[in-house]
Amino acid sequence: MRQKPVAVLGAGISGEGICALLKHLCWNYRVYDEQKHAFNINEACSCSIAVISPGFKEDHPWRKILKKSGVSVISEIDFASNFTKSKLVGITGTNGKTTVTTLLAHLWKSFGFETCCAGNIGISLSKQIALGREPETIFLEISSFQAKDMYSTKLDSLIWTNFDEDHIDHHETLEDYFYSKCKLLNLVRGENLFVGKSVMEFANKVNFRLPEKTKIIEINKNQNELSESSRFLSSYPQRENLSIVEEFIKSKKIKRNDFLESIKSYKPKRHRLGQVCRIKNASFWNDSKSTNFASAIAACKNFSGNVFWIGGGKEKGGIVENFAKRLIPLIWKAFLIGESANILSKIFKKEGLPFVICESLEEAVNKAFKETKEYTNILLSPGYASFDSFKNYEHRGNSFENYVLNLKNSLTLSTDNLHEKSFAH
């Protein structure tokens, strides 16, 4: 295979990781990117194998070229897994997989084990291996895009947190989305398979039989000692995620007291249901990582009383009417942004929910604050992708926090000026 170069299709995070690993292996490669270097049948025939980025759909022209040329296609994770001796723990799910991945890595380090995170979390498995990081265990976050192309990776364990509607623009149907994740079930060694109750419920709905070794995890009702140190960990769906983590820890023969002690020092990644600040009667919350309907609903369920919802963005498919009707009982008013604002506004108008269409996220922040008369939670939990207006959800979340802090500073300056004028008078 080394007699010919590897075709690396896509120059994103996984593509960059593959290039780093191939360079580390002294294996020639060529990068093909739709923006710079196109791919054709001649290019395909000159390569040994093709490593493809997870964003390429099944009907992508380059996939068709590879099929016609007879060149084998392999995913970034499958390729990288051949070059590591670390145990791989796969984590997938519609919501919470990043939390579970980072939480488990935090716990493992506190227990004295060598570990790191990789995959969909921001640094590819290939990049970790190329950097020489081969700890005893790697916690591997796996998206549905990645899962659909995985066939040979051997997972020591798999955690499937939950299942709900997402990425219908890519998978076309909810069933296709579910079955893409089901591919991971065949990659698990032994009986180390943990899934949330919602996964089992959808499996039953589509008459899919989960492996007999599967452990179905429900929310632990006695979790006060687990979540008392964090508003985030006590939120929904993190309570379910904590239950799955606790069951996984138990299977590794780790003492529960050690688990309880270690979890106290865990800090979640930014942009996941964190309070920015309080300005007068308004408490601002950043949940920009909410990029699907289920996560937005989950975030809203954590609040009682007045809730102003800032939501909308780039559409990803799915049944918007169902989402809107689930959202309406949880919020008092909507401040809509992005390309989905118009369709949401039509549904809200029909259902009688007050709303405001905003030209920007900054406008939404300012208008929501101006309409606050009594204590109100102002929640950015968009439920949509960010790519219509921002680089990614981090950019969106950072912008939101900046707009909120700018608002706070402007009000502080105004108050100071009034005090100065009053004193001078």
Residues forming a β-bridge with 73: 50
> How sure is the predictor about 171, in pLDDT bands with cuts at 50, 70 and 90?
low
In this prediction, residues 136-159 reach a mean pLDDT of 94
Half-sphere exposure of 51 (CA within 13 A, CB side): 26
| pLDDT for 41 beyond 50 | yes
The stretch 278-298 carries a mean pLDDT of 92
pLDDT at 224 over 80: no
- pLDDT beyond 80 at 91: yes
Mean pLDDT for 304-325 is: 90
What lies within 8 Å, CB to CB, of 20 at 6+ separation is: 126, 127, 130, 131
Tell me the C-alpha to C-alpha distance, in Å, between residue 207 and each of 141, 144, 158, 231: 26, 20, 21, 37
Question: What angle (nearest 5°) sits at the alpha carbon of residue 139, between those of residues 137 and 145?
Answer: 140
pLDDT in tens, 99-142: 899 999 999 999 999 999 999 987 999 999 999 878 999 999 99
Backbone angles phi, psi at 92, to 5 degrees: -135, 175
Burial (CB count within 10 angstroms: exposed 0-12, middle 13-18, buried 19+), residue 204: exposed
Per the listing, tokens 């490593």 go with 51
Mean pLDDT (the chain) is 88
Which of 33-42, 71-80, 416-425 has the weakest average pLDDT?
Answer: 416-425
Domains of the chain listed by start with CATH number: 6-78 (3.40.50.720), 84-263 (3.40.1190.10), 274-412 (3.90.190.20)
Q: Are 338 and 411 in contact (CB under 8 A)?
A: no
Residues 91, 166, 367: CA angle, nearest 5 degrees: 115
User: Which pLDDT tens digit goes with each residue over 240-251?
Assistant: 888 899 999 999
Residue 266: count of CB within 10 angstroms of its CB = 18
At 315, the pLDDT band (50, 70, 90 cuts) reads confident
